[in-house]
Amino acid sequence: AYREMLARSLYKKVVDGVSGPQELAAYARALDISPPEGALLRSDDVVRAFIRDVLLAGNGTLLLNNTFVEWASVQALKRAEPRLLVARFGVRDKMKPFSSLLLFSSPRPTDQVPILEDPLGSFVDVEQLSYYIWLNAEKSAAYRGKTLYLLLAEGVDEMLAIRPDAPRAEAGELPPAGLDEVAATMATWLGVSGGASVARPLASLAG
C-alpha cells in the first residue's frame, strides 16, 4: 500500500541516521514517491500531492485510518473550501506497543501481535476527531455561522444535526424523518435541485 511505502522510506532514513526531528521532517517534505497504479480513485497530480502531504505531515496519519480522515478533512477545508464535505470514519485496529525507533518498521515474525479491531477506541476517535473538524470549519469565515453539520452512524436510526442559528432541540421534540427528507434538506442548504425526489426539507433545519 502507498502508506506502507512511505512508512518504509521514513524508517530507512531513521536507520541510516538523522540528526533529529527537523532533519526527518525536511526529508519527509522532499520525499517524492508516487502511489502505485490504481491505488487512488483519481490520479491527478493535485490529488496525489494532497494524499502524500496528508500522510507525511499529519499527526498519526500513517498509523491510524481515522486520524487520516480527520487530517484530510481539515486540509480540504483549508485548501479547497468545498461546499460539501463527506468524511467517513471506520473501525480501527488496536494499537500495538512500539518504540520511536520501530515506529515505521515492519515487525519480525516473532514479534507479530494478532490484529484485533478496537470498536471502543474507534468510537472515541469519532467523538474527538469529528469535533476537531467542526472546530476547524468554524474558524474559517467561509463556514462560520453558515454551515449545516450532519453526523450519522451505520445501524443507528438517529442523526445529530447542528445548525448554527437554531436552538437545541431534544430528539423527542422532533418528528421522525427519512433519508429522502435529509437529502432534500441538504439540497436546500446547497442551493441545488433535489432531483426527482418529492420529499420536503426538514423545517427545523431548512429554515
Q: Is the pLDDT of residue 78 over 60?
A: yes
For residue 151, CA distances in Å to 53, 99, 130, 146, 154 come to 27, 35, 9, 17, 10
pLDDT tens for 133-173 read 999 999 999 999 999 999 999 888 888 999 887 666 666 67
Q: pLDDT digits over 170-193, tens only?
A: 666 778 888 899 999 999 999 998
Residue with cell 502507498: 2
Half-sphere exposure in the Cβ direction for 3 (13 Å, CA): 12
User: For residue 104, how far is the Cα from the chain centroid?
Assistant: 21
Percent of the chain at pLDDT exceeding 90: 37
Query: Which amino acid is present at 3?
Result: R
CA distance 164 to 153: 21
